[in-house]
Structure 1
Amino acid sequence: MGKLLYSMIISLDGYVADANGNFDWAQPTEDALTVTNDEMSNVGTFLYGRRMYEMMAVWETDPEVAAQSPESARFAETWCATDKIVYSRQLESTHTARTELVREFDPAEVTALKDTREHDLTVDGSTLAAEAFRHDLIDQIMVLVCPVTVGFGLAFWPKQRLNLELRQMRSFRGGVVYLSYDLLRH
């Protein structure tokens, strides 16, 4: 049985992008990427909304992105070898391998995926994750916190109470901190 993980890079004040949609500050160090890659080693499916999918597709479509560093290359290899489900009413088709386009997010289908998969799943993107949180589907949260505040933008955290138990915390050069939490059920 797989777990559903919510994983993103965020600002210290809890945003994945600033008010203009910029996230150029989200540049983790190589050692932080190593931890992220290690955490992704048991992931068999990425769940994306349209915007996150379009952003992440570069790991397959732009070789220069993977060539940035050894850990970038490692992530690109993992990304290309992993199944992806994109939830979108707007996309006509996807342009990457191992990618399925689904029109509606169905909590029952995601529950069935969790129950039938050997590997974990991730939900990436705060809008899609908020939907998964509403249906109590998320099991773990993993964040790389960058030492910057952006004041306002696209929030990482859903607008609901979450009770969390810290699993792991690591700090890296440049002030990036990795946090991993289990979501506690009421």
Structure 2
Amino acid sequence: MAKLLYGFSMSLDGFLAGPGGDMSWLTPYLRPDPAVDDLIPRIGALLVGRRTFGGDDPHRGDPEREGKAFGGGWEGPQFVLTHRPAAPVPDVTFVGDLREAVDAAKAAAGDKYVNVLGADVARQCLEAGLLDEILAMPVPVLLGDGIRIFDHPGGKTVPLEPLAPNWFRVVR
């Protein structure tokens, strides 16, 4: 059965995106990464937040990579969690309920991972007890401002079990 994984790049001061969701900060740091190269073929579906789906793209301006998952390194079914569906897009399903979106993505992924894209969707999955694993890929930069990972003042402590460098299982 599919596992729900939140894999993300973040600045060393804990930001996933710059102010306003700007992802251009990541562009100078995108390079071959063995952890990502190993992960991509193990992803069966994506669970994407609406802001992430329609948001900034670190590959903006590159016609070969812009708008494509992992810059074109992955293709497959995507499930966008939203109450505001967009115009139909091939291989994209818009879903209004978190559990329905997770169930649909897991069914589509088979025995592979469902990779979560979007800080708010990841937080919702964690709070609902649906997130199985986390892969944190630190980037050598301090952004100073932007969208933080799991930003939820007053949230509860979530224990994690190390599986590999920067890879953790959520302990329930």
- TM-score where L is the length of structure 1: 0.74
The separation in 1 between residues aligned to 2:101 and 2:85, in whole angstroms, is 20
The separation in 2 between residues aligned to 1:115 and 1:21, in whole angstroms, is 30
Matching of residue 136 in structure 1 with residue 129 in structure 2: yes
- Quote the RMSD (CA, aligned, Å): 3.0
Q: What is the percentage of aligned positions where both structures have the same residue? A: 24
Cα 1:22/1:62, change in 2 over 3 Å: closer
What is the correspondence of 1:56-75 to structure 2 with a 5 Å cutoff? 63-65=63-65
What is the correspondence of 1:82-161 to structure 2 with a 5 Å cutoff? 82-95=76-89, 97-102=90-95, 104-107=96-99, 110-111=102-103, 113-114=105-106, 117-159=110-152, 160=155, 161=157
Residue 5 (structure 1) shift = 0.2
More helix by share: 1
Could you report, residue by residue, the CA deviation over 1:39-82 in whole angstroms, capped at 9, with x for unpaired residues?
A: 122111101111211248898x963327xxxxx9985142xx21
Specify the SS of the correspondent of 1:121.
Answer: strand
The separation in 2 between residues aligned to 1:75 and 1:64, in whole angstroms, is 8
Unpaired runs of 5+ in structure 2?
none
What is the correspondence of 1:47-58 to structure 2 with a 5 Å cutoff? 47-55=47-55
Unpaired runs of 5+ in structure 1?
67-71, 170-178
Structure-2 residue corresponding to 1:44: 44
Structure-2 residue corresponding to 1:172: none
Q: Stretches of 4+ moved more than 6 A in 1?
A: 56-59
Report if the CA contact (8 A) 1:111-1:137 is conserved.
Answer: no
Q: Which amino acid aligns with 2:158?
A: L
Cα 1:166/1:148, change in 2 over 3 Å: same
Report if the CA contact (8 A) 1:9-1:146 is conserved.
Answer: yes
